[in-house]
Amino acid sequence: MSVAAPIVDFCVQAWSAWAPGLADAGAWRAWARAPHRPAGEGRPELPQYPMLLRRRAERLARMALQTVAEVRTPAPCPMIYASPRGETARAVPLLRELAQTGQVAPGPFSLAVHNAVAGLESIAHADTGSYGAIAAGGETAEAAIVEACTLLTDGVGSVIVTVYDELVPDCYRAYVEEPDAPYAYSLRVGRTGGPRFELAWGQGARGTGHGARGDESPPNREAPDLPVPHAPCPVPPALPPPLHALRFLLSDHPTHHHDGSHRRWTWRRAA
């Protein structure tokens, strides 16, 4: 007897994204039509945050904080911070220091842990609400949405999901299968208030890696206002898997498939 695949559904109430050379919604809509891997040395200035916090935040944190600020509402809501690797660039010198001296300075260490960005953001807004920090490799975007939908099921009105990553340090490059890039995006999701999506998952072929497949159905010309029409891409560009998910959300494609290491994820635009 077949068993139905698990499925969650959600609406995108608001979104924001930032990467070098892609600093506003118009640039990201154009990127969705002709995607490429973000690259460059730019970083957000964060004028909306206190100077002391800006001085402590390096590019990864700055990208995440920038996008969170643009989807925040006056009413606090739970937040999910999701990064495949987090502040790895900060962690590498600390690990070397630990290996050489047996100790690390507490200040730099506090900014290298996986919930460091969440801590900075909550301090800036004196927000004592709920937040979580997760990592799931190439399936981080999907794991974050599932986590957010469990909160929505519990009765929360909205959840902010922030997905972000940086370039992999050279010493780890040989151990990372998927492409890397600097980027961040935030989605404020809820049960109502925007275009509706579904995310389903089932057993995948073990060892398929963290690839992302292109859209396999014709574009949906009756999609809501959020997406931007563009033709299907038969050969997807080399993007980090979470950016493939963002591309789908900004497109008018009806489906997007992502073969993770143990699961096949299917994103769908709901009727």
Q: Is residue 48 one of the residues assigned to a domain?
A: yes
Q: What is the pLDDT of residue 4?
A: 64
DSSP structure class, residue 104: -
Cα–Cα distance for residue pair 25/250, rounded to 1 Å: 10
90 within a domain of the structure (yes/no): yes
Domain range holding 41?
A: 7-197
Domain containing residue 73: CATH number: 3.40.47.10
Amino acid symbol at 35: P
pLDDT recorded at residue 90: 83
Is position 190 within any domain? yes
Nearest to 176 by CA among 123, 235, 131, 241: 241
The C-alpha torsion from 236 through 239 and 244 to 246, rounded to 10°, is: -140
Per DSSP, the chain holds a count of helices (H) and strands (E) of 8, 9
Inside any domain, residue 93:
yes
Q: Judge whether 103 lies within some domain.
A: yes
Residue 168 in any domain: the answer is: yes
In a domain, 11, yes or no: yes
Determine, yes or no, domain membership for 112: yes
- CA separation, residue 20 to residues 23, 45, 59, 232 (Å): 7, 12, 10, 25
pTM beyond 0.75: yes
Print pLDDT tens along the chain (271 aa): 455 678 999 999 999 999 999 999 999 999 999 999 999 999 999 998 888 888 888 899 999 999 999 999 988 899 999 999 988 888 888 888 888 888 887 777 777 788 888 888 888 888 888 999 999 999 999 999 999 999 999 999 999 999 999 999 888 888 888 899 999 999 999 999 999 999 999 976 544 444 444 444 333 323 334 444 444 444 457 899 999 999 999 998 999 999 998 899 999 999 6
Domain count, the chain: 1
Residue 81 confidence (pLDDT): 96
